[in-house]
Structure 1
Amino acid sequence: MLARMDLRDTFAKNLRRLRREKGLSQDELAYEADVSRSYLSQIEKGAFYVSLKVIGKLAETLQVEPEEFLKRRVKRAGVSK
């Protein structure tokens, strides 16, 4: 049976990865998405649940579909997919 997944952790990891892939700092993403940098930091740490409104703002700013934040990355032989 698969280990129980915490969606906050999955969201946090994907948000951090997508932000870095776009070459944005937390300050830049927070400004563009109209959220505070400290709130964004807490989201990336998996400390907060995120509202649909904020998910929409982050997805729009990062130019990704919202479901990208919830995709689990599978690790195989040291390679994550």
Structure 2
Amino acid sequence: MIEIDDRDAPLQLFGAKLRLLRKEKGLSQEKLAELCSLDRTYIGGVERGERNIGLINILRISTALGISPKELFDE
């Protein structure tokens, strides 16, 4: 389980989960960004919990990872 103690914890937890799933799939941030039609710096910002990601981008990322959007929120 990933533990974060911060007021931005939901963003950081989501980002940590995204990083974990991306690495499990053997993808770099650059490759995932390419598959999602997003910028690599955007993916990095999401993974660091710096961005409040929107629904459309959650769907793009889950599709690129070959998972359901729900899996990005599972602990």
Answer whether TM exceeds 0.5 for this pair. yes
TM-score (norm 1): 0.80
What is the Cα deviation at residue 6 of structure 1?
A: 2.4
Task: Establish whether residue 65 from structure 1 lines up as the match of residue 68 from structure 2.
Answer: yes
Could you tell me how far 1:62 is from its partner in structure 2? 0.2
After the TM superposition, which segments of 4 or more aligned residues of structure 1 sit over 4 Å from their partners? none
CA distance in 1, matches of 2:32, 2:17: 14
Task: Please give the per-residue CA displacement for 1:23-63, whole angstroms capped at 9, x wherever unaligned.
Answer: 00000000000000011100000001000000000000001
Q: How far apart are residue 70 of structure 1 and its match?
A: 1.3
Unmatched segments (≥5 aa) in structure 2: none
Aligned residues: 70
Check whether the contact 1:59–1:66 (CA below 8 A) recurs between aligned residues: yes
In terms of Rg, which structure is larger?
Answer: 1
Whichever residue aligns with residue 57 of structure 1, its letter is: R
**CA root-mean-square deviation:** 1.7
TM-score (norm 2): 0.86
| Structure 1 residue 5 displacement after superposition | 8.1
* Unpaired runs of at least 5, structure 1: 73-81
The residue number in structure 2 matching 1:28 is 31
> Quick one: distance in 2 between partners of 1:7 and 1:55?
14
- Read off the aligned partner of 1:46 and give its amino acid letter: G
Structure (1 or 2) with the greater helix fraction? 2
